[in-house]
Chains A and B, each alone.
Chain A
Amino acid sequence: MPYFILRRLLVIIPMALIVVTITWGLIRLAPGNFYSGEKKLSPAVEANIRAKYGLDKPWYTQYAIMIKNIATGDFGTSLKYEGQSVNEIILRHLPYSATIGVLGYLLALAIGLTAGITAALKQNSSFDYGSMSLAMLGLSVPNFVLGPLLVLVFSFWLYWFPPARWGSPSAIVMPVVTLAAIYAAYIARLTRAGMLEVMRSDYIRTARAKGLDERTVLLRHAIRGGLIPVISFTGPALAALLAGTVVVERVFAIPGLGNIFIQSVLNRDEPLILGIVAFISLLIMVFNLVVDVSYGFLDPRIRYE
């Protein structure tokens, strides 16, 4: 097991390098510059800007400088937001995204698991049909519709929550619910499917045959296996949530990482794009590793060498 983890960790380094290099190349291919605006700059002014940010050097030199900086963990300074380092920006805005992301996912887990397990145990009951229809609805209503709808109901009809902006705990409720909806629906469906499959498997039949009561069968044996699809889903989902969700952040004016990522691309803010891409890919790779390791604990049939 430790050998497996070490091997996977070592793979992360070249993977991250490849991701950064491809991203760097793609940014270079995109027309336009961080400084281009509606008003065209005079050649002298443009030359000054290019010199100031080292853009006048040959591309291989720029690439070498970029890789050297990244190797030392320094993504440099944002081109758009003068004087702010990329690391500082990511660390400053991560907590906002992480707060609503983690809370949203916990809420989604609570709703999704309860609904999924119950639906599986009472297959073809009215609860099963009801909750799964609701899940279908949750999956099909995009969050840029759900968010404003929540604002309409809870801010302007009921006056319960402020319509946007970070600040009071009550301001977090609607973004978290908006985020949770789609994940809860997904988790509910995954859980139901996983549980249904497990409940029909041999080892559950064996457990029942040994005379275990239904409760023990469910909690000790079935859930562990039934949750594997949910766990696989959790890795990338949580990484994506931590990195921020553009729509929810924009609708509720939350200073999270997702909106900043999109803006950095629109702004052609190269160091910031590279920093966030590297950060997100790192998150995904680490979370996937954690997920893979956790399989071994959940399902005794899975072993790593």
Chain B
Amino acid sequence: MREHRRQFLTAVMGLALISGACAPKGSDKYFGKTVPPKDNVLHYISGSEPESLDPQISDGQPEARILMALYEGLVEYGPKDQQPIPALAKNWEISPKVDEFIFHIRDNGKWSDGTPITADDFVYSMRRGFDPDTASRTASLGTGIKYSEAFNGGQVFVKKGETYLLDKDFGGETKPPEPTFGPETALSRVLHSADRLTLDGDEKKRQKQIDGDPKLKAAVVGAEFVPVKAEDIGVEALDRYTLRITLRQSAPYFLGLLAHQFFRLVPKHVVSQFGRAWIRPEHIVTCGPFRIKTERPYDALIVEKDPNYWDAANVHLNGIEFYPIEENATQLNLYKAGSIEAFLNHTVLSSWVDEIKPYKDEYLNFPENATASYAINMTKPPFDNPKLRQAFVLAVDKDAVSDFRKVTKPLFGVTPTGTYPDFDAAMKKVGEELRQKSGQTPEQWAKQTKLFDPERARKLLSEAGYPVQQQGDGWACPTFPVENISLTFNTNENNKAIAEFVQAQWRRNLGITVPLRTMEFKTFLAERHTKQYVGFAQLLWSGDYMDPYTFLSLHYGKESAGDTGIDDPKFNAMLDEANAELDPQIRYEKLARAEYYLLDQAIVVPLTINATNWMKKPYVKGMYPNPGTLLPWKFVYIEQDPAKWDHDVDNIMVQSDPMVDEQLRTLTSTQTDKQLVASSK
């Protein structure tokens, strides 16, 4: 998320630089110096300085890309579609309910110091990730694993005699016991018996919890509070090379999540020896295709091919130099000078796009698994009125906003279209059902799904108690308490431009001029997270994994991360029900229904689908603008022969590269087709 932040000087620098940074049109085929490096080392600008090389500590995307070179987990992101492909797990089996996974770990995996990698390393890494002492910011990603949330939150079980109090006896839902998937063990018997009740680990908070529930109060008399331990969570080594993960409920998206840095391996034998200092250059041990060669903070992080890596034969590059540079003009300068081969996403500013776009062999602009919208605080009047929220949503022309931004695509909902074709189809199918039910013509429906209808917006506004009158050529809404609300965003040229554009739309279509409020990034986040804002706040969201749920869950449950204040039991239940669905297509339809329901609540003003918006030299191959710009580096290679260079990269996702295709085929051949299909949906 940090990459969305731009420094104040970028815009000014851009003005001063635009004539210099961009070659005159048509004078050259390529943008600046285009000569492949002879030493087979890739030079890549990775954005801000990486926080930490500990995969369980860093949570940013710039770090994710570096960590992908250094560490591996059970699965890796596919180079084009980001769907999970085998990594340290050569294959896996999934329980019929998609709540239990058995992974078969490779027997030739090794750490960069030569120590063999076994299933125990995975057990250790996951336990460490959830350990409260690790204080991982990304731990919540894995809370689908049974009892991991309780362990991470320092909670306790309630033990009475030899038995534990059960969740279902105190308001939890009753789930029929499931047979263990695979061999039964002591742990699996616990995990597959009824859910245990967990209470807060903090004595005061727990007492409050107990005092508030007479039944619980009576039950805990004479009971013992047993802290939830690392050994209690649903991760287990069945033998040296077999790992089982048990979830608390079905989660069809879980496999895709396992490629996230949080689930990558950390070396027990080094962490236990050096503690937090294990990531220092003199101690660090890694398990990915590359290992650390030189670390110069704020200057360069240089990695080299690791001969101990199990698949070293298929790692093409000799090394990668990551440069932590944030200034967009500097990035482009270095690219033009040929000092780097590629840079991270979101880097070509709108003001430069027209100059850069003609370089068709280098400029990569594809939809991202990320959205921009304005959250509406529904807890504070006047926006506790759904009609009013709808009016503001319908008064913004999303196509126009996107055209204005140049590189993005319009967003008409919560989940970005184009990233999940099967989900798009489900949305269409459910939409058709809803259309017939509502009796609208296809034209009317098409208009409605675009979420832009100024006339209806004015009508809704009037119905909400704020009559709109014609005034000259435009409209006026004199009774609306506009001085109480605002559109809040963090200070940044792009954000400001969009906010002004949307402000103009509201003025034109509703006759309301919403005041703009801008503030420093962290100040803004505090304001939004605590829901102090009245009206609208910018909400940029990049998906954590390749499933629509990563966007829908943003508005799930209490204190949801969308910061709109929604906690809609019907919507929550719709999502739960969808995730319990085993047929991927039906699940998508259920999620689609939930999305339509959410759109009716009008808690966000959808704006745009982010674009990848980065460049690479044509001689760099196997590097794709996938939806998260998450680059599996072992597929990347440097092509010396200009005849084989990438050209017209708008087609790069459909063009085939025999080298990448073959590598991918070999890698996925260990996993049977059927299971891969199950995993990718």
A-side residues, CB < 8 A to B, are 30-33, 35-45, 47-49, 51-53, 80-84, 89, 92-93, 144-145, 147-149, 151-152, 155-156, 162-166, 247, 250-253, 255, 259-260, 263, 266-268
Query: Considering only CB atoms, which chain A residue lies closest to B140 in the complex?
Result: A42
CA separation between A162 and B334, bound complex, in Å?
Answer: 8
Q: Quick check: B325 and A80 within 8 Å, CB to CB?
A: no
Q: Quick check: B336 and A156 within 8 Å, CB to CB?
A: yes
A to B CB contacts below 8 Å, 19 in the list: A32-B523, A36-B525, A37-B60, A38-B525, A39-B561, A45-B152, A48-B134, A148-B329, A149-B16, A152-B17, A152-B19, A156-B21, A163-B337, A164-B339, A253-B323, A253-B334, A263-B48, A263-B49, A266-B520
CB-CB < 8 A to A89: which residues of B? 297
Q: Closest approach, in angstroms, between the C-beta of B130 and any C-beta of chain A? A: 10
Q: Quick check: B522 and A32 within 8 Å, CB to CB?
A: yes
Given contacts A32-B523, A247-B9, A250-B327, 11 further A-B contacts (CB under 8 A): A32-B522, A36-B529, A37-B1, A37-B137, A156-B333, A165-B334, A165-B339, A253-B330, A255-B298, A260-B298, A266-B522
CB-CB < 8 A to B325: which residues of A? 164-165, 253
Q: Which of B17, B134, B541 contacts A148 (CB 8 A)?
A: B17
Q: Which of B1-52 contact A (CB under 8 A)?
A: 1-2, 4-5, 7, 9, 12-13, 16-17, 19-21, 48-49, 51-52
Q: Which of A32, A92, A165 contacts B526 (CB 8 A)?
A: A32
Q: Closest approach, in angstroms, between the C-beta of A245 and any C-beta of chain B? A: 12
Query: Considering only CB atoms, which chain B residue lies closest to A267 in the complex?
Result: B522
CA separation between A37 and B326, bound complex, in Å?
Answer: 18
CB-CB < 8 A to A47: which residues of B? 132, 153-154
Report if A39-B1 is in contact (Cβ < 8 Å); known contacts: A155-B337, A162-B339.
Answer: yes
Q: Quick check: A156 and B280 within 8 Å, CB to CB?
A: no
CB-CB < 8 A to A36: which residues of B? 522, 525-526, 529
CA separation between A43 and B12, bound complex, in Å?
Answer: 40
Report if A31-B527 is in contact (Cβ < 8 Å); known contacts: A82-B54, A164-B333.
Answer: yes
Q: Does B296 contact A (CB under 8 A)?
A: yes
Report if A145-B20 is in contact (Cβ < 8 Å); known contacts: A41-B140, A81-B52.
Answer: no
CB-CB < 8 A to A30: which residues of B? 522-523
Q: Which of B142-198 contact A (CB under 8 A)?
A: 143, 149, 152-154
Q: Which of B5, B149, B279, B336 contacts A44 (CB 8 A)?
A: B149
Q: Quick check: A82 and B330 within 8 Å, CB to CB?
A: no
CA separation between A4 and B273, bound complex, in Å?
Answer: 52
CA separation between A52 and B607, bound complex, in Å?
Answer: 38
CB-CB < 8 A to B17: which residues of A? 148, 151-152
Q: Closest approach, in angstroms, between the C-beta of B579 and any C-beta of chain A? A: 18
CA separation between A255 and B49, bound complex, in Å?
Answer: 10
Q: Quick check: A166 and B299 within 8 Å, CB to CB?
A: yes
Q: Closest approach, in angstroms, between the C-beta of A27 and any C-beta of chain B? A: 11
Number of B interface residues in the complex (CB < 8 A): 66
Query: Considering only CB atoms, which chain B residue lies closest to A50 in the complex?
Result: B135
Q: Quick check: B279 and A82 within 8 Å, CB to CB?
A: yes
Give 1 or 0 for each of B253-281: 1 = CB within 8 Å of chain A CB: 00000000000000000000000110110
CA separation between A46 and B457, bound complex, in Å?
Answer: 40
Query: Considering only CB atoms, which chain B residue lies closest to A77 in the complex?
Result: B276
Report if A81-B154 is in contact (Cβ < 8 Å); known contacts: A155-B337, A164-B325.
Answer: no
Q: Which of B135, B323, B329 contacts A52 (CB 8 A)?
A: B135
Q: Quick check: A82 and B57 within 8 Å, CB to CB?
A: yes
Q: Does B59 contact A (CB under 8 A)?
A: yes
Q: Quick check: B52 and A45 within 8 Å, CB to CB?
A: no
CB-CB < 8 A to A44: which residues of B? 132, 149, 152-154
Q: Quick check: A255 and B20 within 8 Å, CB to CB?
A: no
CA separation between A251 and B325, bound complex, in Å?
Answer: 9
CB-CB < 8 A to A144: which residues of B? 9, 12-13, 16
CB-CB < 8 A to B559: which residues of A? 40, 42-43
CA separation between A166 and B12, bound complex, in Å?
Answer: 23
Q: Closest approach, in angstroms, between the C-beta of B412 and any C-beta of chain A? A: 22
Q: Closest approach, in angstroms, between the C-beta of B505 and any C-beta of chain A? A: 24
Q: Quick check: A49 and B327 within 8 Å, CB to CB?
A: no
Q: Which of A251, A267, A268 contacts B13 (CB 8 A)?
A: A251
Query: Considering only CB atoms, which chain B residue lies closest to A41 in the complex?
Result: B137
Q: Quick check: A255 and B299 within 8 Å, CB to CB?
A: yes
Q: Quick check: B19 and A31 within 8 Å, CB to CB?
A: no
CB-CB < 8 A to B527: which residues of A? 31
Q: Does B563 contact A (CB under 8 A)?
A: yes
Q: Closest approach, in angstroms, between the C-beta of A136 and any C-beta of chain B? A: 20
Q: Quick check: A40 and B1 within 8 Å, CB to CB?
A: no
10 closest cross-chain pairs (CB), A and B:
A32-B522, A152-B20, A44-B153, A255-B298, A38-B1, A31-B526, A163-B333, A52-B135, A255-B299, A48-B135
Q: Closest approach, in angstroms, between the C-beta of B495 and any C-beta of chain A? A: 13
Q: Quick check: A83 and B137 within 8 Å, CB to CB?
A: no
Q: Quick check: A148 and B13 within 8 Å, CB to CB?
A: yes
Q: Quick check: B339 and A37 within 8 Å, CB to CB?
A: no
Q: Closest approach, in angstroms, between the C-beta of B41 and any C-beta of chain A? A: 15
CB-CB < 8 A to A32: which residues of B? 521-523, 525-526
Q: Quick check: A49 and B154 within 8 Å, CB to CB?
A: no
Query: Considering only CB atoms, which chain A residue lies closest to B2 in the complex?
Result: A37
Query: Considering only CB atoms, which chain A residue lies closest to B23 in the complex?
Result: A156
Q: Does B578 contact A (CB under 8 A)?
A: no
Q: Quick check: A31 and B523 within 8 Å, CB to CB?
A: yes
CB-CB < 8 A to B139: which residues of A? 45, 48
